[in-house]
Chains A and B, each alone.
Chain A
């Protein structure tokens, strides 16, 4: 089971992810609502995995991913975006993302993905 940092600008999505991750037995290391906050929280909390929204105010998810990777090249970040923004996938993978989730998502599949990444 992992310690997870949830990054999303909407409370609704953060709460939803928190519920899903709790149901899978994971702990929530913390939450961040923008890219700047995500980098700060990563430095402070050292989570096992980060779920990172792509579109956020201030600093977007791709830039936050790059910032986290600069802090810790082994950081495990799963990007999370709305349907129709799949063109961001390549950019995210190139920037070091370990997985990609498209909203809306189904809990069992998200938990499988988290498990795979934790075991990898």
Chain B
């Protein structure tokens, strides 16, 4: 049994409290007076230091908890291991590539994957990685060298804040297919045909991916301000970009990241 000081969000305001975390449930003292068995938790999301739990019931309710990173690790681990989720034992490597740069000390970690309502979690001895389905930019069944053998893995491209991160999952082939099909299906709205964008618009997308601003894009592609505005409109309409801060600066959505990643792939031999 562990006691964790937290802040709890209720009706838009945060209140301090001390919750008790044991093997079966989380207990929140008065005035909340709640006992939450882990099995009642059907979803878990994390933004910065805030965990949001979705609880099963006649109507789904959510509860947000904020605490320090060290306590958050304990809390997350207990919830992910015991909540209501589809679980599979797996090895994972996350991140393997960040922003296009290979992470040289990336290693396979033994752990499990929990598939929840709005995302998946990798849980290892030291690390927990959350990938919200909304942030999944690409999924691929591919092969990778593991101990001098080519083995099947699932490659997941996902957004972590503004970084595009690639992670790999390794598990028995049948389970790998279940995971792949689940992710593919859950993100099918992001699929696009290659011919939906003309080459110049695709190049604009690629430059946004790389972090170029509007001025640099105009100069590099020799397009006028007006032409770029109309390309942005097209990309906005397709859901590939979203406006950041002001009208003229944009960033790619997960759908946009998926499109650009697919667009730069070499043709199949």
- Chain A residues near B (Cβ < 8 Å): 12, 15-16, 19-20, 55, 82-87, 89-90, 99-110, 112-113
Contacts and interface: CB of A to CB of B under 8 A. Distances in A.
Interface of B: 97-102, 104, 142, 144-145, 162-164, 166, 203, 206-207, 209-212, 216, 220, 260-261, 264-266
B99 A82 contact: no
A99 B212 contact: no
Contacts of B264: 82-83, 103-104
B209 to A, nearest CB: 5
Given A15-B220, A16-B220, A90-B145, A105 B100 contact: yes
9 contacts: A12-B220, A15-B220, A20-B211, A82-B264, A82-B265, A84-B266, A89-B102, A103-B264, A109-B98
Contact of B206 (A20, A84, A104): A104
Nearest to A106: B99
Contacts of A112: 101
B163 A16 contact: no
Nearest to B262: A83
A55 B266 contact: yes
Contacts of A103: 100, 264
Closest 4 CB pairs of A and B: A105-B100, A109-B99, A106-B99, A107-B211
Contact of A19 (B97, B144, B220): B220
A106 B212 contact: no
B145 to A, nearest CB: 7
A104 B265 contact: no
A99 B102 contact: yes
Contacts of B163: 106, 109
B266 A104 contact: no
Contacts of A102: 97, 100-102, 166
B57 to A, nearest CB: 42
A108 B264 CA distance: 20
A89 B104 CA distance: 11
A86 B220 CA distance: 28
A82 B263 CA distance: 10
A101 B99 CA distance: 9
Contacts of A101: 100-102
A92 to B, nearest CB: 10
Contact of B99 (A16, A90, A105): A105
B266 A107 contact: no
A19 B212 contact: yes
Nearest to B164: A106
Contacts of A105: 99-101, 210
B54 to A, nearest CB: 32
A83 B211 CA distance: 18
A110 B100 contact: yes
A19 B102 contact: no
A16 B210 CA distance: 8
B104 to A, nearest CB: 7
A20 B210 contact: yes
